[in-house]
Chains A and B, each alone.
Chain A
Amino acid sequence: GEDVEQSLFLSVREGDSSVINCTYTDSSSTYLYWYKQEPGAGLQLLTYIFSNMDMKQDQRLTVLLNKKDKHLSLRIADTQTGDSAIYFCAGGRGNQGGKLIFGQGTELSVKP
């Protein structure tokens, strides 16, 4: 079946870059998403990338997609303590399906 895998924890120092990795098995996913979950809250869409793109940059966020290896990464530049949260990658087919398959979530801890 479809599967999305992430490492569970990442710890960085404030000001460093964070890289959160994700692998997926469903090559029919047309969109790959990154959602952020802060404590006590639901998930918020951070960014997404269409499957025919290799890279997408949005301010401090850079998404890299290696479609051959089915590997997705999220880089957060100049990580701040407010970036501490759980980050989920998810695959979906956008308007063709609407459903998402989520990874386990990576808990990012940013130390001052």
Chain B
Amino acid sequence: DADVTQTPRNRITKTGKRIMLECSQTKGHDRMYWYRQDPGLGLRLIYYSFDVKDINKGEISDGYSVSRQAQAKFSLSLESAIPNQTALYFCATSDPREGSNQPQHFGDGTRLSIL
């Protein structure tokens, strides 16, 4: 979805470095999510936020932190990157006003490699 922008698109870094992945959206949605995708494992939820003051851990939050700087921005940080955090990371947004099924809208992903 062009309205959900992730930066950078690709990043290679070394073990122990602090990394920040950014997500911004122009959809005006309150709810934002961070997932990671690994081959054969699908997408797993890292953190989610239902509004600026609400941050919740997902199923695999260890080693990650997030910041919701504004309704439109949700950043994911790896405080001290390790090789098993090498993955494809996706940001998504949703809004209950889009219907009770509340579809999620995804960015194009950030491919992160940790050496």
Q: Which 9 residue pairs spanning A and B have beta carbons closest together?
A: A42-B106, A102-B42, A102-B43, A104-B42, A95-B96, A43-B106, A45-B103, A42-B108, A94-B100
**A42-B101 CB under 8 A given contacts A88-B42, A102-B44, A103-B42:** no
Whether B94 contacts A98 by the Cβ 8 Å rule is yes
- Chain B 33-53, CB-CB to A under 8 Å as 1, else 0, gives 101000011111100101000
**A44-B106 CB under 8 A given contacts A50-B101, A102-B42:** yes
Interface residues, chain B, with chain A CB atoms under 8 Å away: 1, 4, 31, 33, 35, 40-45, 48, 50, 58-59, 90, 92, 94, 96, 100-104, 106-109
Distance between Cα atoms of A31 and B42 in the complex (Å): 18
Whether B41 contacts A104 by the Cβ 8 Å rule is yes
Whether A95 contacts B102 by the Cβ 8 Å rule is yes
User: What residues on B are CB-neighbors of A92 within 8 Å?
Assistant: 102
Distance between Cα atoms of A15 and B43 in the complex (Å): 30
Let me know if A112 is at the binding interface, CB within 8 A. Answer: no
Whether A105 contacts B90 by the Cβ 8 Å rule is no
User: What residues on B are CB-neighbors of A102 within 8 Å?
Assistant: 35, 42-44
Let me know if A61 is at the binding interface, CB within 8 A. Answer: no
The size of the chain A interface, using a CB distance under 8 A, is 26
Whether B102 contacts A42 by the Cβ 8 Å rule is no
Let me know if A99 is at the binding interface, CB within 8 A. Answer: yes
Let me know if A82 is at the binding interface, CB within 8 A. Answer: no
- Chain A 36-67, CB-CB to B under 8 Å as 1, else 0, gives 00001111110010100000000000000000
- Extra A-B contacts (14), CB below 8 Å, given A94-B102, A99-B45: A8-B40, A42-B1, A42-B109, A43-B90, A44-B1, A45-B103, A45-B104, A94-B100, A98-B31, A98-B50, A98-B102, A99-B48, A99-B58, A100-B43
Let me know if A33 is at the binding interface, CB within 8 A. Answer: yes
